[in-house]
Amino acid sequence: MVGGRRLSLTWVGAVPFLAYVGVFLFLPTLIIAVGAFFGENGFTFANFANLSRSYIVAATVNSIILSAVTAVAGAVLGALLTYAIATGNPKGVVRRIAVSASGVLAQFGGVTLAFAFFATIGPAGFVYLWLAQHHLDFYSGGFWLYDLRGLMVVYLYFQIPLMVLVFLPAVDGIRPQWREATESLGGGTWHYWRYVAGPLLAPAFLGATLLLFANALSAYATAAALINQGGIILPLQISNAITSEVGLHEPGFAKAQAVVLIAIVAIVTALYGVLQRRTARWLT
């Protein structure tokens, strides 16, 4: 090997990760993207043309609204809760309970979550019935639990705890000394948040919001249990296209809809990249 260049082996450590991502992310994505171009009679663009069906457009818009609203509301409310937890006693019981509860509730979804809402604030739920008896009929304007507004409320139930989980490490990273430094330089609370804590937390906050968006966009089981009719959001329409037993079985069309979901996440991720570069500019 005299005079030869030694091959760098630093990439070897990444092989398991790359293999994992390849098998469980890129391969399925590829299968979906290719399959979207095939129908019963071979290659076709019909699956994408069918995306213009009015009920698919409506479901796509609903999915984006639902994800955006629950991501932003979940991020803001979750961040406030995180700040409250982080500024409390770091070894206190309240913090430990709040963090453990968040870990559990962030994974709470599907039929169990939907049923929990039916049993409490549903039209036959005990909380609703009790309030209605006391002249607080919150369904007098219609059963909002069964439309997009209901999904928003139910989704926030797992979005806020998820925000706490992913945002807490960033908030914990803030040192009290930085605030003291700001104050010793004559800055007030506004200056501290505007020039120190805000810019430091912004990338983590935006990243967490993006995660919440993707989490809501891909959620299926909760919505399926709550609103079974009409395919109100895109994941439910995909399910209809895959499993319809009345002959509306269109696997290629389901894949085309999945490509739409992937495209939405890709666009939002790109926007996040741009935003993060802007917010991180002052650090470099």
What are the residues binding another protein (CB under 8 A)? 53-55, 58-59, 115, 118-119, 122-125, 139, 142-143, 146-147, 224-232, 239-240, 242-249
**Amino acid identity at 214:** A
Shortest distance, position 264 Cβ to another protein, whole Å:
20
Shortest distance, position 185 Cβ to another protein, whole Å:
57
- CA atoms of 253 and 119, how far apart (whole Å): 36
- Which is nearer to another protein, 11 or 245 (by Cβ)? 245
What CA–CA distances, in Å, run from 172 to 5, 68, 221?
45, 26, 33
- Which is nearer to another protein, 212 or 226 (by Cβ)? 226
CB 220 within 8 A of CB 151: no
Q: Residue 199: exposed, middle, or buried by beta-carbon count in 10 A (0-12, 13-18, 19+)?
A: middle
| Element at 29 (helix H, strand E) | helix 27-35
- CA atoms of 153 and 157, how far apart (whole Å): 7
- Which is nearer to another protein, 208 or 250 (by Cβ)? 250
CB 132 within 8 A of CB 121: no
Candidates 99, 135, 93, 138; CA nearest to 117 is 138
Candidates 195, 202, 208, 190; CA nearest to 278 is 202
Strand partners, 179: none
Secondary structure class of 176 (helix, strand, coil): helix
Shortest distance, position 218 Cβ to another protein, whole Å:
20
Shortest distance, position 67 Cβ to another protein, whole Å:
18
Strand partners, 39: 42
Shortest distance, position 113 Cβ to another protein, whole Å:
13
Shortest distance, position 53 Cβ to another protein, whole Å:
8
Shortest distance, position 246 Cβ to another protein, whole Å:
5
- Which is nearer to another protein, 133 or 229 (by Cβ)? 229
- Which is nearer to another protein, 146 or 193 (by Cβ)? 146
- Which is nearer to another protein, 171 or 236 (by Cβ)? 236
- Which is nearer to another protein, 98 or 241 (by Cβ)? 241
